[in-house]
Amino acid sequence: MAKPAPHSTHVVANQVPDRVDVDEFAASPALVEGVARFDAAWGVDELSRIGRLVGGAAFQRDAELANVREPQLRSFDRHGNRIDEVEYDESYHRVIGAAVAHGAHTSAWADPRPGANVARAAAFMLFAQVEPGHACPVSMTHAVVPALRQQPDLAKDWIPSVLSREYERRLGPGKAGALFGMAMTEKQGGSDVRANTTRAVPADGGWLITGHKWFCSAPMSDAFLVLARTDAGMGCFLVPRVLGDGGRNPFRIQRLKDKLGNRSNASCEVEFDGTVGYPVGDPGRGVRTIIEMVARTRLDCVLGTAAGMRQCVAEAAWHVRHRRAFGRALVDQPLMRNVVADLAIESEAATALALRLARAHDEDVPDSEAACRRLATAVAKYWICKRGPGHAVEALECLGGNGYTEEYPLARRYREQPVMAVWEGSGNVIALDVVRALTRQPDAVAAVRDEIAVAAETSRPLSALLRSLDARLVRALGRDLDDLAFEARRLTEDLAVALQAAVLLAGASSAVADAFCASRLGEDRGALYGALPGGLDVDGVLARA
């Protein structure tokens, strides 16, 4: 009897190989060039080590597992004692432990020098490119330093642990390193933190806090900055999870939030009931104090979104180079070339502006840079974070049906990107912050305008946009604030694309800068990706993707 024929339908052909064992730093020209351009070339060796780590198969597997094996709340131990702990998979501990070990949290504070925030931003982006959830506590730990410095006694006790590169998962005394979280919003107020009802009253050696926080980020952290009302007004308090005697501070986790994305990172509702806190900053000026932290985490939202865009471009570009359809590689199909090049342009513009803003946060910059970052960070936070989800879904589509499955990273990324637009001020909050800066901070407006004006001398489309912005800014100074608020999003959007164009024209790839100006400035621009006009150096753009 003849043997049965083999199952020829099971032969796999035309599938794309896994994108593993890549140096993610070296593979991103925008990141490599930005690090050098903004005075952080001294950090290239370390960034290369990080690039190889996060591009490896083991780290990528941990990134996947950390999101599949989600954090679990343990309210009690087996004896019935209330412990309110969040358990994470070992994969998560390996990811965040590596980020801390490489200084993605506080290296810029530990070793301040020209470009320190750029090197730290690049490290943060490389880790967040592959596993974004852990970046939340990493970001907040970085951002808490300027707030702590307003309270020297607390800074003395906490900053050495914050700067440490030691990671320990346990809650308890004697830890070398510490992570910080934040608890601001409440269910009745949300972004309107001045509506908070959580109360703090003085007690021996500290304050006692009572209230409910609707969102508390990274509840496994060692300490938190918390807003609470006092007789003097809204105060900012440091709330440790473990007290000096080793006992647990009351920190009642009510539930973990069931979030759209950001699944590897826990967020919770928490009840404070006679919880010990220590004042940070001036009494009654807690919002101003915690804004010092928020300003840094807003920049990290930009960095995190740019990191996600880079992952999207890398995966899409890899796929189209290895997949064939209709007789040729996808990368040779004209319309696919347009789409991937357009995605790459968006990614490079986000990366360039993010690193430029990171440089403005270094301690050696002049006052004009500090003024520029006040307005430019809000502008970038609004626009780049808003662009993230649409960018992710277009990249996902490049992979076809595979992109829509959980076995590939872009489905996870698509769910992740919206959190950057929501966290630390949703779109309306940020756009209104931009309006306030435009009307109250003339030095910030002048600094941003000057940067755009210099680049506009070499670009007719940018020059035309600047004239339009100038006219609208002049009109804004004499208008009712409500009327100006109604147009705040459009004004913020135009400022953002003008800033991105200026940064690209001042030192990025000419292929990318020219394509950005041709496709993003002026009236003749597409609403979706893949609408680049003809005559651009698409080969040059794709070679960088």
Q: In terms of domains, do 248 and 328 share one?
A: no
448 contacts 375 by C-beta, under 8 angstroms:
yes
Q: In terms of domains, do 43 and 98 share one?
A: yes
Distance CA 263, CA 307 (A): 17
Provide the percentage of residues in the chain whose pLDDT is more than 70. Answer: 99
158: left (phi over 0), alpha (psi -120 to 50) or beta: alpha
Q: In terms of domains, do 430 and 321 share one?
A: yes
What residue spans of 152-266 are helical by DSSP H? 152-163
423 contacts 473 by C-beta, under 8 angstroms:
no
Answer yes or no: is 394 within a domain: yes
Answer yes or no: is 9 within a domain: no
Domain boundary among 258, 283, 308: 283
Q: In terms of domains, do 241 and 132 share one?
A: no
Q: Is the pLDDT of residue 392 over 80?
A: yes
Sequence-ordered list of residues with C-beta below 8 angstroms from that of 406, at least 6 positions apart, any chain: 412
Q: Is the pLDDT of residue 10 over 80?
A: no
The pLDDT value recorded for residue 204 is: 84
> Across all residues in the chain, what is the average pLDDT?
95
Q: In terms of domains, do 433 and 498 share one?
A: yes
pLDDT tens-digit profile of 196-254? Answer: 999 999 998 789 999 999 999 899 999 999 999 999 999 999 999 999 999 999 999 99
Q: Is the pLDDT of residue 489 over 80?
A: yes
Q: In terms of domains, do 234 and 341 share one?
A: no
pLDDT classification of 1: cutoffs 50, 70, 90: low
Q: Is the pLDDT of residue 191 over 80?
A: yes
Tokens read off for 134: 């852990």
Provide the percentage of residues in the chain whose pLDDT is more than 90. Answer: 89
The pLDDT value recorded for residue 6 is: 65
Q: Measure the CA angle with vertex 503, ends 502 and 509; round to 5°.
A: 110
Answer yes or no: is 479 within a domain: yes
Q: Residue 432 to residues 175, 228, 336, 449: CA-CA distances in angstroms? A: 41, 24, 38, 19
Q: Which domain covers residue 131, as residue numbers?
A: 29-163
As a whole number, mean pLDDT of residues 530-545 equals 96
The pLDDT value recorded for residue 251 is: 97
The pLDDT value recorded for residue 483 is: 84
Q: In terms of domains, do 347 and 455 share one?
A: yes
The pLDDT value recorded for residue 249 is: 96
Answer yes or no: is 54 within a domain: yes
Answer yes or no: is 250 within a domain: yes
Q: Residue 436 to residues 378, 426, 481: CA-CA distances in angstroms? A: 11, 16, 9
Domains held by the chain: number: 3
Domain boundary among 254, 283, 312: 283
Sequence-ordered list of residues with C-beta below 8 angstroms from that of 502, at least 6 positions apart, any chain: 451, 452, 454, 455, 456, 462
The pLDDT value recorded for residue 229 is: 96
Q: In terms of domains, do 111 and 224 share one?
A: no
pLDDT tens-digit profile of 67-126? Answer: 999 999 999 999 999 999 999 999 999 999 999 999 999 999 999 999 999 999 999 999
As a whole number, mean pLDDT of residues 22-44 equals 98
Q: In terms of domains, do 373 and 477 share one?
A: yes
pLDDT classification of 7: cutoffs 50, 70, 90: low
Phi, psi (degrees; rounded to nearest 5) at 17: -65, 155
Q: Is the pLDDT of residue 174 over 90?
A: no
Q: In terms of domains, do 494 and 366 share one?
A: yes
Domain boundary among 261, 283, 305: 283
233 contacts 285 by C-beta, under 8 angstroms:
yes
Q: Residue 396 to residues 6, 188, 383, 405, 412: CA-CA distances in angstroms? A: 34, 37, 21, 10, 10
Instruction: Write the CATH number for 402.
Output: 1.20.140.10
- Specify the 3-state DSSP secondary structure of 240: strand
Q: Is the pLDDT of residue 282 over 70?
A: yes
Q: In terms of domains, do 237 and 293 share one?
A: no
Q: In terms of domains, do 262 and 293 share one?
A: no
Going by C-alpha positions, the residue among 189, 220, 207, 222 that lies closest to residue 272 is 207
442 contacts 372 by C-beta, under 8 angstroms:
no
As a whole number, mean pLDDT of residues 132-136 equals 97
